[in-house]
Amino acid sequence: MPLAPGTLLNHRYRIVSILGQGGMGAVYRATDIHLDISVAVKENLFLTDEYSRQFQREASILASLRHPGLPHVTDYFILENQGQYLVMDYIEGEDLRQRLERTGPLPEKEAILIGISVCEALDYLHTRTPPIIHRDLKPGNIKVTADGQAVLVDFGLAKILQGGQATLTGARAMTPGYSPPEQYGTASTDARSDIYSLGATLYAALTGVIPEDGLNRMTGKAEMTDLRVLNPKVSRRLAEVIHRALEVDPEDRFQSAREFREALIACSEMAALFRERPTISPPPPDFFGSPEGEMAGNGGQGMRLKSRPSSRRRRKSSPWLMFPLMALIVAGAYIALQLQPNLPQTVLAYFTAPTAYLPVIPSETPFSPPESPTSQPSSEPTPSFEPTSNPVVQPQITPSPTETAVPSLTPTATPLGGGISEIAFASKRTGMMQIWSIGANGKGLRQITNMQDGACQPAWSPDGQRLAFISPCLNKREIYDGSSIYIINADGTGLTPLPASPEGDFDPAWSPDGTRIAFTSLRTGRASIFTIDLKTLAVKEISQSRFADVQPSWSPNSHQIAFVRKIVFGQIWIMDDEGNSQVQFSPNGEFNNFSPVWSRDGQVIFYNQIVGGSKVPNLVGMRYEDRLTYREFRIPANPEVNIGPVGSVSVSPDGFWLAYEGWPDGDNHDIYLMTINGANITRLTTDPAFEFGPSWRPSPQSVP
């Protein structure tokens, strides 16, 4: 259960609002009542040993950093039997994946500026004593703040290099397309691994397409598509720089972040603006009383690999001919800097800020997690981290205008779930399976359908005014031969059939934008995912595989669909809304995964899982950015807590509650409610008849 506004956390931080809700906890905006400043509080509710250690490592790493391109943690604490908490500087901003969703591929100059800024943060990390390797660099982990600063965040997978050896300080995980081959275990990771990931991020930022997976390229299973094939507007010089960063052999990449930075600068026409400021000689090493003092004083030069000198720096001109003019320029620049210290940033922002943004055109192959839907419980943006110092000239990246931020509306206050707080489900309580509805408070039970051959699989329209369902339906099944999809008003009127196939259509899922319904059909001789345009009634097959594909589930932004593909075992896959970019989401293993559903913020996919020969489904979840890893988490997290079987779930409009089918006695199937982390379980229906397939009614206010 998220913390309510007004809650005083650890006797110091008063919760103002929720900024985001994920599978493992929430991020809040709060006020530090001791200092009277706004802060962001990150929460971890899954207190298993591995998640707790990883969260604490992230706190330790961030607390030691002082760089404008990196977040800064000001506090960390544990509340027994509740959770772990990081307290960070709070600033406005959006991450790069959100920017790409909003604008489409970035202009070349803006991508270069982001790359330069992140290289400077990486150079700082890689030259610490001991060096820090981020290992999880991707669009979702780069924030662009309100003042145009790129900030590298999320150090949950970072590792520290001790004595020249890799010391793991975060769980091994890979993000296909962004992770270098060595991160899969082919070799040890080092600073060049972050260079690969930044190259992949810039590739995606310029094209809207994730580059081919590094491990597949190394083993000859794939070849990388030339960046300029996907975006011919990108200069050949920049494409070559990014391709070099993406070499599968670390020896062929840039050997340091500084070298990568210099190459990016050389691609632009602003090299002079990025020349480093003169620095004062640092104190001697014994001033600090330890060898680390030398590293702190000289910026870690002894740890850096040799950078290739810029071709522009090798050009020399006669100092005697230019001396008078240069003396005047230097004197004028010195006076200007004394009067206006921020002049370099101001000039840079003036020359680099685009006059207009690109129109919002979703990529054909979206690669980032979807934006939070309009029914998200807060209008606050995702938090980022305020820089604490400014040791180098920082390029200014155009911040997102406040008016273009993705809107979020607070649902009407209700005891449970937000919005209308009503749940539709299938029940056999009258002897024939029909669609019923009940309030989340257990009141207001009513029958919606009265189909002669039964009805089930209710799916609400995004405005909460209509339901899609299937008939015939006599019992709960995986495949419904001969069924058709119907639409009916919430009050039971206006029954309308959709174009059907005699073989069978089922698993209806309404797109969040209200224009289409995705469903499973047998019309091609096998189970496959189709969509129907509700305006033209045009039907289109999108999954088109030789395997059985069932149970589509839309992402909150209508751009992606999660579904189940049955090869040997059922696994969760993802594709875009046209059927492109099909990738496996859940890990392989001797278990069946089914009934996927997205969290309201699009950061987590929940799904049921049956392991081995068991017939009891559990509920698990996994962050979108952890796809193809083994970082699933169980709900509830504590394995000693047994809540019984959990059938298909539906997320409440405010994103904090789950409705699900449960039968803890092993027999009677009813509808239950619980919080998103598996607590506060409530039995909603008690009829002895079989009941399943809950669908939480959206709030009409959440529809734009």
57 in the same domain as 195? no
Buried/exposed 589-603: b ≥16 CB within 10 Å, e otherwise? eebbbbbbbbbbbbb
Contact present, 99 and 371 (Cβ < 8 Å): no
Q: Which of 370, 404, 438 is the last residue of a domain?
A: 404
Tell which phi-psi region holds residue 558, choosing left (phi > 0), alpha (psi between -120 and 50) or beta: left
Q: What pLDDT was estimated at residue 302?
A: 34
For β-strands 422-427 and 560-566, DSSP reports them as unpaired
Contact present, 636 and 677 (Cβ < 8 Å): yes
Structure-block tokens of residue 249? 């052999």
Residue 293 lies in a domain: no
Q: What pLDDT was estimated at residue 335?
A: 53
CATH of the domain at 63: 3.30.200.20
Contact present, 262 and 307 (Cβ < 8 Å): yes
Q: What is the Cα Rg of the chain in Å?
A: 27
208 in the same domain as 83? no
Q: Which of 345, 370, 404 is the last residue of a domain?
A: 404
Q: From edge to edge, which strands make up the β-sheet containing 93-95?
A: 93-95, 142-145, 150-152
Q: From edge to edge, which strands make up the β-sheet containing 37-44?
A: 8-9, 13-21, 26-32, 37-44, 83-89, 73-79
556 in the same domain as 432? yes
Amino acid at 467: L
Structural domain that includes position 106: 100-278+317-404
Residue stretches of the annotated binding site for ATP: 42
Contact present, 371 and 557 (Cβ < 8 Å): yes
Report the C-alpha gap between 595 and 46 in whole angstroms: 23
Question: 3-state DSSP helix/strand/coil percent for the chain, to nearest 5?
Answer: 25, 25, 50
Total residues belonging to the chain: 704
Residue stretches of the annotated binding site: 42
50 in the same domain as 104? no
Q: What pLDDT was estimated at residue 361?
A: 27
SS3 of residue 114 by DSSP: helix
Structure-block tokens of residue 181? 């081959």
Confidence (pTM)? 0.47
Structure-block tokens of residue 161? 């290099």
Strand partners, 38: 31
Structure-block tokens of residue 78? 């544990």
Structure-block tokens of residue 190? 């080092």
Q: Write out the DSSP string of 409-472.
A: -PPPP-SSSSTT-EEEEEE-TTSS-EEEEEETTS---EE----TT--EEEEE-TTSSEEEEEE-
- Total number of domains in the chain: 3
CATH of the domain at 398: 1.10.510.10
Report the C-alpha gap between 496 and 480 in whole angstroms: 19
Asked if residue 472 has a cis previous peptide bond (ω within 30° of 0), the answer is yes
Q: Could you state, in chain order, the average pLDDT of each consecutive group of 10 residues for the chain (704 residues)?
A: 86 88 75 90 76 76 82 85 84 83 90 93 88 85 83 67 44 68 77 93 92 86 91 94 94 94 84 49 46 37 34 41 55 53 40 31 33 37 36 51 36 56 95 95 94 96 95 94 94 92 94 96 92 94 91 94 91 94 87 93 93 85 82 86 92 93 92 92 94 91 44
Residue 586, CB-side half-sphere exposure with 13 Å CA sphere:
29
Residue 307 lies in a domain: no
Residue that has been written with the tokens 């309030």 in this structure:
439
679 in the same domain as 640? yes
